[in-house]
Structure formats: structure tokens, C-alpha cells
């Protein structure tokens, strides 16, 4: 600083001392980028959980910051508004939101079909009837879904239509919530039937409640076909403004799903982390019973993307190239 007046030199030194710590902490090798996530504590979050448990986000310089919700409606609102960078949603609900002007970017599918349609055992419905005729037994019945207008209702409305029923007049829809609340409502007989998913069946079993399964929709060899029960969806601004971060997140998530396919302990550990069980034996049994839809997911192709529209209001898929993040599913 030769040639600088003493008073000016003193000010320059003080400014350097003030700014150096912030410079060192900004974008340094130890800094981690937080990715806020909105999801439900169920099997649909298994791939994300494995990536966290195995340190795959940290390897990419990311931290995984989850917020747990109970309905797809809350998650949809959160990711569209920017409260979440990423959320886990059903395509049927997402497609409808995009058609109504919402903006979202799909990263990859995170779960194949895992639904079923269950009924109260006391009704004595014939569970041996083939699909779709078996669903005609729901005429005049009350049907439970977590939230009105959510993905479960949209999918079941399509199935009822296949059976020749009018989803608006032939059944009565009842919002029964999720988790323990849904199990309690069904077990108490407040609805005749419900669109079911693994966590509901686990909770019913834990409480000693029975049910008859009218239609098993788990896996690709069902009436749902190459169905995605959930997809990873990114907020538009976050995805468009941080493409490098998005691909890092995608790589970590993809590695999590590869671990599910290749490592026998990955799924049970993820189920335990999500609170789906605590004892190793029962958790492993849960994974063996309900883990297939997250370990064997129909791939992200334009054909499969368009297939999801069958279960969405309006039966129209958004433009694939506009709404899918290129390179994410293979990162």
C-alpha cells in the first residue's frame, strides 16, 4: 500500500478485515446448498431417504431439508409458490394444475403403482369379480379419499368410469385424511370403501382392522399399466435459475434409487428412517410387501408421460419437452 496516505491505508485494512471472513464463507468448499423438500412420510419418499442416509446429497455439496405434509394439495401449493424447491406429487393432480396455469418442472418418477381399492369386510362384496366389473359393487356406496380432488380421487374416478359408473352421481366421496386419521375413519365404518395405499393398509393392520381388497393396483401388470403414483417436481424458478444444483440433486436422487435396486438393506433402512417401522424384522417385512413400486418404476419416457393423462382431469398431458428437466433422470 505504498503511496497511500496513512489514514486511507487504515480504512482499507479495516475493510479487508471485515470482508475477508464473509468472502471465505461464501461459496467455499465447505458451503452446502440447502434443497427444501416437501413430501409425505410414506414409501413414495424412499428414494430420497436412501440418498440422505447414504450421504449422496452431501457428496454433491447439498443438504436435504424435508418438510412433512399429509396431502398432495399442500405439497402442490408449496412447490408452485416456492415454499419447497422440490416436492413429491401425483401426476394426475400435477397435470391438472399445469392445465390451469401452474408452473412446475418434473425431475423423475419416484414410485410406480401402489394403490388398491378396499371395502368394509362386513359388506360382503365379491372380491373374485374381475376388473372392472368388481367396481360396479360400489354403486350407491361412500368412498374415502385423503383429500377431495387429490390424485387418489382422480385415479379412482377414471377406474369407476371404466366400470360404467358415473363418478359424480353413483358414489359419495368422503375426505378421510391420511395416516392414523384415515385408518381410524375406515375402521369405524364411516365409509364403505376407500382408495388405499400401503401406509393405510399398514395402519389398519396395526390396529387390528380388516378389509376386503376389491382391486389390487400395485405394479405395472394392473389396470393402471405404466403408472407413476408420484413424481419429483421442482419449483420453476428454482429449476430454471439453478440448473447445476438441480442436476446435482438429480444425481444424488438417482443414486438413491439405484441403491434400492441393488442393496437389500437400503429399502428397510429408508422405511425405518421414515418412521414406517422401528424393529428390523417388521420393517424388512414391510419393505418386502410394499417396496416393489419404488424399486421397479416405469421409466421416464414421453410415451409413459402421456399415459398418465388417462388418470387426470381433461385427459391431456402437458408438453413433455417443456415440463420435464432434460438430463435429470439420467444424471
pLDDT tens for each residue of 195-234: 998 889 988 988 999 999 999 998 878 899 999 999 999 9
Query: What are the tens digits of pLDDT across the range 106-140?
Result: 999 999 999 999 999 999 999 999 999 999 999 99
Q: With pLDDT > 70 as the criterion, what percentage of the chain qualifies?
A: 91
What is the rounded distance in angstroms from the CA atom of residue 145 to the CA atom of residue 178? Answer: 8
Confidence class of residue 97 from pLDDT cuts 50, 70 and 90?
A: very high
What is the rounded distance in angstroms from the CA atom of residue 172 to the CA atom of residue 81? Answer: 32
Q: What is the DSSP letter of 317?
A: P
DSSP three-state, residue 109: strand
What is the rounded distance in angstroms from the CA atom of residue 263 to the CA atom of residue 50? Answer: 11
Q: What is the mean pLDDT of residues 68-79?
A: 90
Among 305, 303, 298, residue whose Cα is nearest residue 226: 298
Burial 250-288 (b: 16+ CB within 10 A, else e): bbbbbbbbebbeeeeebbbbbbbbbebbeeeebbbebbe
User: Any residues with CB less than 8 A from the CB of 178 and at least 6 apart, and which?
Assistant: 40, 70, 71, 146, 199, 200
pTM above 0.95, yes or no: no
Q: What is the DSSP letter of 120?
A: -
pLDDT at 95 over 90: yes
Amino acid at each position: 500500500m505504498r503511496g497511500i496516505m496513512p489514514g486511507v491505508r487504515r480504512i482499507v485494512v479495516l475493510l479487508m478485515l471485515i470482508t475477508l471472513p464473509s468472502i471465505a464463507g461464501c461459496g467455499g468448499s465447505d458451503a452446502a446448498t440447502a434443497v427444501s423438500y416437501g413430501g409425505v412420510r410414506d414409501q413414495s419418499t424412499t428414494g430420497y431417504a436412501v440418498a440422505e442416509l447414504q450421504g449422496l446429497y452431501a457428496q454433491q455439496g447439498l443438504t436435504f431439508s424435508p418438510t412433512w405434509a399429509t396431502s398432495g394439495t399442500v405439497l402442490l401449493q408449496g412447490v408452485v409458490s416456492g415454499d419447497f424447491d422440490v416436492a413429491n406429487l401425483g401426476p394426475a393432480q400435477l397435470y391438472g394444475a399445469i392445465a390451469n396455469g401452474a408452473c412446475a418442472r418434473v425431475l423423475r418418477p419416484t414410485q410406480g403403482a401402489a394403490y388398491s381399492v378396499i371395502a368394509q369386510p362386513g359388506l360382503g362384496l365379491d372380491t373374485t369379480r374381475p376388473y372392472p366389473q368388481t367396481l360396479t359393487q360400489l354403486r350407491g356406496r361412500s368412498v374415502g379419499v385423503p383429500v377431495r380432488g387429490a390424485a387418489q380421487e382422480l385415479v379412482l374416478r377414471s377406474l369407476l368410469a371404466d366400470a360404467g359408473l358415473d363418478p359424480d352421481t353413483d358414489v359419495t366421496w368422503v375426505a378421510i385424511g391420511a395416516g392414523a386419521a384415515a385408518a381410524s375413519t375406515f375402521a369405524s365404518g364411516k365409509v364403505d370403501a376407500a382408495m388405499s395405499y400401503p401406509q393405510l393398509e399398514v395402519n389398519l393392520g396395526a390396529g387390528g382392522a380388516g378389509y376386503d381388497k376389491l382391486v389390487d393396483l400395485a405394479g405395472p401388470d394392473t389396470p393402471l399399466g405404466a403408472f407413476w403414483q408420484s413424481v419429483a417436481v421442482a419449483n420453476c424458478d428454482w429449476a430454471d435459475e439453478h440448473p447445476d444444483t438441480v442436476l446435482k440433486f438429480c444425481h444424488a436422487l438417482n443414486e438413491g434409487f439405484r441403491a434400492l435396486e441393488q442393496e437389500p438393506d437400503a429399502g428397510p433402512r429408508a422405511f425405518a428412517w421414515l418412521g414406517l417401522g422401528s424393529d428390523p424384522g417388521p420393517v424388512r417385512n414391510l419393505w418386502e410387501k410394499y417396496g416393489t413400486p419404488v424399486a421397479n418404476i416405469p421409466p421416464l419416457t414421453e410415451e409413459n408421460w402421456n399415459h398418465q393423462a388417462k388418470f387426470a382431469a381433461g385427459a391431456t398431458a402437458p408438453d413433455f419437452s417443456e415440463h420435464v428437466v432434460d438430463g435429470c433422470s439420467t444424471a
